[in-house]
Amino acid sequence: MSAAERQDIPGSRRVVVKVGSSSISGDNAPRIQAIVEALAAAHARGTEIVLVSSGAIATGMPFLSLGERPTDLATQQAAAAVGQNVLIYRYQEALRPFRVVAGQVLLTAGDLENPMHRSNARRAMERLLGLRILPIVNENDTVATHEIRFGDNDRLAALVAQLIGADALVLLSDIEALYTRPPDEPGAHPIHRIAYGEDLHGFEFGSVVVNSVGTGGAATKVSAARLAAASGVGVLVTSADLVDRALAGDEIGTWFAPNPEPASSAGTGPLRTISSSLPADKLTG
């Protein structure tokens, strides 16, 4: 049953958590440990956890002696190939003391648009969860192109939550909550709850930002959250530093209430989609 409110997250059967590149790469790489501890605690109480993690390109950059995120597709793909291996290793090492095994799942947009590939992806993830494996999902940047891609991992996380029938989706960012306008502007106020179908006209969510290590922004999180909520998945947007409190159901972040009458159950109908507004030569990492 979908989490209707934040406090329902601890009792949820299945939760998808998404973390971005800036939260786990560079100087923030040690944050992986704190994130894993929160995931392991939820896993230990019986919740099925799926982690959607960006960071492959950013993690691979130092190994290719790149001082900033590459702009050409081929180098992005090369950085992703190196970084994905390192990223999964770091997660598995952090999970080892908790006796939790990670399973890598790399997807392209085509995998979720093709009915057969989508069915295979769902079956594989269901089996991983049934075996108490913690799937770690990322876009398959090594083979993705600008014609076939998710655009950002917030959207990927929303589609994965829909695919596997998650009860809740937690989108981790760099700030504690969404604001009525960019938080550094005067008059910005945190948004605590957004009812399903609520008119967001008048709120000034920041446009997509492409920084030195990743892609995303408040606007992409709002779009992804509304996509997941329309499918009956409750969504919490909050800071990566508060992941433990998020999974404990504390009153933090911005909560998107789920559709009480979603059109179809997970995996049975065509995936709902949203358009990407990222530049055509950017991969999510």
Tell whether residue 141 is among the known ligand binding residues: yes
Interacting residues of 115 by C-beta distance below 8 A, sequence separation 6+: none
18 is in an annotated binding site: yes
199 is in an annotated binding site: no
22 is in an annotated binding site: no
Is-contact 255 50, C-beta < 8 A?
Answer: no
| Residue recorded with tokens 């179908």 | 197
Annotated binding residue at 174?
Answer: yes
- Closest CA relative to residue 214, chosen from 141, 275, 134, 112: 141
221 carries a ligand binding annotation: no
The Cβ of residue 58 has, within 10 Å, a number of other Cβ atoms equal to 27
Kind of pairing, strands 234-239 and 102-107?
A: unpaired
Q: How far apart are CA 49 and CA 60, in angstroms?
A: 25
Which amino acids are annotated as binding site for ATP, given as ranges? 18, 173-174
Which amino acids are annotated as binding site, given as ranges? 18, 54, 141, 153, 173-174
Which amino acids are annotated as binding site for substrate, given as ranges? 54, 141, 153
